[in-house]
């Protein structure tokens, strides 16, 4: 299985060496038409099937050895948790995915929604990152390299879905954390993400994005009364690898339905066109940050070495 | 040649076995309990009380759609299968794969992309959507552990050993101050 999987997942998506090109700022900005990864892998989340059991959260936590949560994963009262401003739970440094519960006006059945990185076709986290810490892989995953990250948190601001979270617990090594589609431990080995595999309801379907769209359309066509006639993520911000079906209007379950259909890079480009200075200054600035950070890391590593030597003596 | 013969014998034996089995199942020789151990990693096997469920449902088709002697009833199926005989496999896993998202399954679905049944749930999904659908509408138990007793690995997956402040609040009855 190992063999077919990797190669075949990739086969369709070779179109996109696009991702890495931010480093040469000029060419990336000059190429407004990114092709995306229409044949990459994706997941279709069907909210009508989710029962809010949090098994996906537990599976993700175990798969990535994340810190223990505050409450056990079988405590379902957290689904109703809201912060003081009424906002729902969000992904953070100890949770790449969270499930929230929404009461629907005029209905006594709540709707549950799992959220994680949507693995955008043309990710704004990637385009906003000046040190090129993000990569959109051929398999459709948007992954992140902590070795390169300088901790500027531009990606957190840029993401239209508020996904990347900041790891406050590691002050020395600023880290952004987010769902990586289980890229290195599963996706490249031809396995589905841990959360998808664990879901008892099969609320998520894993497959090539194109096939997921076909399945989504077919479900809507077959049960038009059950579903809202929209696949969230088909077009939003240029399309996402993770997409959603819902039985209630998407804005009632926390989706931003005002997002543009074009990739966000288009506006960024316009903006940068007006302020060419930014292009000239920011890379230099961030290279500076980066070198500083790396130097600090080297020093820390050296200290560590010294300590070790001390111990072994 | 040798190999092909062998293969054919195997297939014949296989078919013979299942036709016998199908006859058996329609001949009132039904299992009283069925052990379901698909989630054995995190939960003890479920001893499904088959005979109790037989008593409370109207027909076998409530669960065994178009098998076990009952023809297709779902409108989605009868569009094509209105005159098809009940098919022979009875056990859910004969059609619903335990690994619906493995590379093999994903590609076999896509290779046959013109086949109608591309959205067929895997085994776990089929069970839960079928069982839970009824359990919800009929007011039967719906908690995970009402059916599946969790084992030690399951407890650690769900971090069950953690304190549950929320549960305590609920038990204490008071609730928070804000
Ligand atoms: S495991 Fe599946 S059903 Fe349970 S909360 Fe997650 S998506 Fe919903
Ligand atoms: S959802 Fe946010 S973090 Fe994920 S790929 Fe899109 S922009 Fe990046
Ligand atoms: S795809 Fe992997 S990393 Fe992302 S939420 Fe699911 S289990 Fe977690």
A29 or A128: which leads in pLDDT: A128
Instruction: Specify whether the CB–CB gap between B127 and B38 falls below 8 A.
Output: yes
Structural domain boundaries in chain A:
6-271
Tokens for A301?
């590593």
CB-based contact (8 Å) between B157 and chain A? yes
Q: Which residues face A165 on adjacent strands? A: A177
Residue A303: pLDDT band (50, 70, 90) is: low
Residue B109: pLDDT band (50, 70, 90) is: confident
Looking at residue B161, its pLDDT comes to 85
In a domain, B167, yes or no: yes
Mutate to test the pocket of ligand 2, among A91, A145, A161 (most ligand atoms within 8 A of CB): A161
A245 or B31: which leads in pLDDT: A245
Q: What is the DSSP letter of B85?
A: P
In a domain, B85, yes or no: no
- d(C-alpha B70, C-alpha A128), whole Å: 59
- d(C-alpha B78, C-alpha B96), whole Å: 19
Q: Over 50: is that where the pLDDT of B23 sits?
A: no
A38 or B40: which leads in pLDDT: B40
Residue A23 — φ and ψ, nearest 5°? Answer: -50, -50
The answer to whether A205 contacts B101, with C-beta atoms less than 8 Å apart, is yes
Angle formed by the axes of helices A276-312 and A265-274, to 10°?
110
In a domain, B88, yes or no: no
- d(C-alpha A13, C-alpha A33), whole Å: 16
Residue A120: pLDDT band (50, 70, 90) is: very high
Sheet strands side by side (includes A204-208): A204-208, A41-46, A242-245
- Please state whether A291 falls in left (phi above 0), alpha (psi between -120 and 50) or beta: alpha
Residues 98-117 of B with CB under 8 A from A: 100-104, 106-107, 109-110, 113
| SS3 assignment, position A217 | helix
Same domain, B117 and B151: no
| SS3 assignment, position A29 | helix
CB pairs under 8 A between A and B: 99
pTM of the model: 0.77
In a domain, B39, yes or no: yes
Same domain, B52 and B15: yes
- d(C-alpha B34, C-alpha B81), whole Å: 28
In a domain, B133, yes or no: yes
Sign of CA dihedral A105, A111, A115, A121: negative
Residue A97: pLDDT band (50, 70, 90) is: very high
Same domain, B21 and B44: yes
| CATH number of the A6-271 domain | 3.30.70.20
Give residue for tokens 């069970």. B127
Lowest mean pLDDT among A226-235, B10-19, B36-45, B113-122: B10-19
Q: Measured between alpha carbons, how far is residue A237 from residues A113, A258, A265 in Å?
A: 20, 10, 9
Same domain, B116 and B166: no
Q: H-helix or E-strand containing B143?
A: none
Instruction: Specify whether the CB–CB gap between B120 and B95 falls below 8 A.
Output: yes
Residue A77: pLDDT band (50, 70, 90) is: confident
Residue A84: pLDDT band (50, 70, 90) is: low
Same domain, B28 and B42: yes
How many angstroms separate the alpha carbon of residue A232 from the centre of ligand 2? 14
| Range from A47-56, A93-102, A284-293 that averages highest in pLDDT | A47-56
Cα of A122 vs its chain's centroid, Å? 12
Looking at residue B162, its pLDDT comes to 80
How many angstroms separate the alpha carbon of residue A90 from the centre of ligand 3? 14
Q: Over 50: is that where the pLDDT of A26 sits?
A: no
Looking at residue A129, its pLDDT comes to 92
Q: Over 50: is that where the pLDDT of A10 sits?
A: no
Q: Over 90: is that where the pLDDT of A20 sits?
A: no
Same domain, B123 and B146: no
Q: Over 60: is that where the pLDDT of A266 sits?
A: no
Same domain, B2 and B46: yes
State which residues form the domain around B149: 1-56+141-172
Which residue, by CA, sits nearest to atom 8 of ligand 2?
A125
Determine the distance in angstroms separating the CA of A129 from the nearest CA of chain B, rounded to an integer.
32
| Range from A55-69, A254-268, A283-297, B97-111 that averages highest in pLDDT | A55-69
Lowest mean pLDDT among A206-210, A297-301, B27-31, B133-137: A297-301
pLDDT digits (tens, 9 = 90+) for A217-252: 999 999 999 999 999 999 999 999 999 999 999 999
Neighbouring C-beta atoms of residue A173, cutoff 10 Å:
14
DSSP string for residues in A87-126 = PBP--BTTBS-EEEEE--TT-SS-EEEEE----BSS-HHH
In a domain, B177, yes or no: no
Count Cβ neighbours within 10 Å for each residue of A119-132 and write b for 16 or more, e otherwise.
bbbbbbbbbbbbbb
Looking at residue A54, its pLDDT comes to 95
In a domain, B71, yes or no: no
List the one residue out of B121, B128, B130, B18 whose CA is nearest residue B65. Answer: B130
Lowest mean pLDDT among A62-76, A274-288, B56-70, B128-142: A274-288
- d(C-alpha A155, C-alpha A177), whole Å: 11
Query: How are beta strands A98-102 and A242-245 bridged, if at all?
Result: unpaired
Neighbouring C-beta atoms of residue B19, cutoff 10 Å:
11
Residues 75-94 of A with CB under 8 A from B: 75, 77-78
Same domain, B121 and B161: no
**Is ligand 2 within 6 A of the CB of residue A159?**
yes
Residues 183-202 of A with CB under 8 A from B: 190-192, 196-197, 199-202
- d(C-alpha A100, C-alpha A78), whole Å: 8
Largest CA distance in chain A: 74
List the one residue out of A49, A2, A38 whose CA is nearest residue A211. Answer: A38
Q: Over 80: is that where the pLDDT of B127 sits?
A: yes
Neighbouring C-beta atoms of residue B162, cutoff 10 Å:
15
Residue A291: pLDDT band (50, 70, 90) is: low
């Amino acid at each position: 299985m190992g063999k077919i999987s990797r190669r075949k997942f990739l086969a369709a998506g070779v179109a996109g060496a696009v991702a890495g090109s931010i480093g040469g700022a000029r060419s990336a900005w000059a190429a407004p038409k990114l092709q995306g990864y229409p044949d990459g892998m994706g997941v279709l989340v069907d909210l009508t099937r989710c029962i809010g059991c949090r098994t996906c959260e537990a599976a993700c936590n175990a798969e990535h050895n994340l810190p223990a949560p505050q409450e056990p994963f079988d405590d379902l009262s957290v689904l109703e948790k809201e912060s003081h401003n009424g906002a729902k739970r969000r992904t953070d440094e100890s949770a790449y995915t969270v499930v929230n519960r929404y009461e629907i006006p005029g209905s006594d059945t709540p709707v549950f929604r799992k959220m994680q990185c949507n693995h955008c076709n043309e990710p704004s986290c990637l385009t906003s990152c000046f040190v090129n810490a993000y990569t959109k892989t051929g398999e459709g995953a948007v992954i992140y390299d902590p070795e390169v990250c300088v901790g500027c948190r531009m990606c957190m601001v840029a993401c239209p879905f508020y996904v990347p979270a900041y790891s406050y617990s590691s002050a020395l090594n600023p880290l952004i954390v987010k769902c990586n589609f289980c890229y290195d431990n599963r996706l490249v080995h031809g396995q589905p993400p841990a959360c998808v595999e664990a879901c008892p309801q099969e609320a998520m379907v894993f497959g090539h994005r194109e096939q997921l769209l076909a399945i989504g359309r077919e479900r809507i066509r077959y049960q038009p009364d059950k579903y809202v006639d929209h696949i969230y993520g088909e077009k939003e911000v240029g399309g996402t690898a993770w997409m959603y079906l819902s039985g209630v209007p998407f804005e009632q379950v926390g989706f931003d339905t005002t997002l543009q259909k074009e990739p966000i890079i288009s506006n960024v480009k316009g903006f940068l066109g007006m302020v060419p200075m930014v292009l000239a200054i920011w890379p230099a600035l961030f290279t500076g940050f980066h070198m500083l950070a790396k130097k600090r890391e080297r020093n820390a590593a050296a200290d560590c070495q010294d300590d070790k030597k001390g111990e072994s003596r | 040649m040798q190999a092909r013969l062998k293969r054919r014998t195997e297939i014949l034996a296989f078919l013979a076995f299942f036709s016998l089995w199908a006859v058996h199942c329609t001949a009132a020789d039904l299992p009283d309990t069925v052990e379901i151990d698909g989630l054995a990693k995190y939960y003890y096997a479920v001893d499904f009380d088959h005979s109790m469920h037989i008593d409370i449902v109207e027909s076998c088709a409530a669960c065994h759609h178009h098998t076990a002697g009952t023809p297709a009833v779902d409108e989605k199926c009868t569009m094509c299968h209105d005159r098809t005989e009940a098919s022979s496999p009875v056990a859910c896993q004969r059609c619903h794969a335990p690994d619906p998202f493995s590379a093999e399954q994903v590609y076999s679905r896509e290779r046959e992309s013109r086949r109608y049944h591309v959205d067929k749930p895997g085994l776990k999904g089929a069970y839960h959507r079928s069982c839970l659908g009824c359990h919800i509408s009929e007011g039967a138990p719906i908690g995970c552990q009402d059916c599946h007793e969790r084992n030690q690995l399951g407890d650690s997956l769900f971090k069950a050993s953690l304190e549950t402040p929320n549960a305590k609040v609920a038990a204490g009855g008071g609730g928070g101050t804000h």
